[in-house]
Amino acid sequence: MKDLAIVLVSGGMDSCVTAAIAKENYRLALLHVNYSQRTESRELQAFRNIALFYKIPEDRILISNIDYLSKIGGSSLTDMRMDVQDAQLYSKEIPTSYVPFRNTLFLTIAVSWGEVIGAKKIFIGAVEQDSPGYPDCRPSYYKTFNELIKVGTKPTTHIEVETPLIRKSKSEIVKMGISLNAPFHLSWSCYKNTDKACGMCHSCFLRLKAFKEAEVIDPIPYV
């Protein structure tokens, strides 16, 4: 039997492809976190649809609800008083869409679950090149986090975080997803809208650019 891997699936393009990659060699368990983000309901719908696509049994699905990120604020994804920026392609500033320490919070949930269910890997669709300024999308961050897992879990636990997309460009990710039959039509990337993607936020802009460069039509609806 294949080893078990947990995949963090937001419902976005990168996590969708990451699930497709992990499925090549592992049995999958899928984790989704609701954190009171603007598009929470739409992201959850995308997650559910991706889980159905891969026929993941309910006992290998975990949906975690945390609301304190919205109480903390500091991000345009969780603080409704802040505007979601249009894409700032050449800015050196950390985008307002950065959610403070978010990936660490998500990964700790995954490690806790993984230690109980016997997972060997945790997959996350972090991308360094197309996430400028996000501190938790750098290879050095994941190297350090894997050291934390070693010292913070039982001696019999052997879990490692994998970031198969971290050095890929978005267009490479699209091409990889196509080759693996990743269900892009079920994914959702927009930071603003839940019906038709805005096409203007940082996430939409990078997604549209990637599909254009890959010479593939993006199957989700845009305004």
pLDDT tens per residue across span 186-214? 999 999 999 999 999 989 999 999 999 99
pLDDT of residue 85: 80
pLDDT beyond 70 at 127: yes
In the numeric block, the tokens 């392609």 are attached to 89
Contacts of 202 (CB under 8 A, 6+ apart): 85, 86, 87, 88, 95, 97, 191
Neighbours of 1 (CB within 10 A): 4
Q: Per-residue confidence at 163, pLDDT binned at 50, 70, 90?
A: very high
Instruction: Look at residue 126 and tell me whether its pLDDT is greater than 80.
Output: yes
Question: Measuring CA to CA, how many Å separate 19 from each of 105, 141, 148?
Answer: 20, 21, 24
Whether 5 has a pLDDT exceeding 70, the answer reads yes
CA distances from residue 195 to 46, 135, 221 in whole angstroms, order as listed: 12, 30, 8
Chain position carrying tokens 């109480």: 71
62-120 tens-digit pLDDT: 999 999 999 999 999 999 999 888 877 667 788 888 899 999 999 999 999 999 999 99
| The pLDDT of residue 131 | 57
pLDDT in tens, 139-154: 999 999 999 999 999 9
Residue 204 CA to residue 197 CA, distance in Å, equals 7
Distances (CA, A) of 33 to 1, 27, 53: 28, 20, 19
User: Which pTM value belongs to this model?
Assistant: 0.96
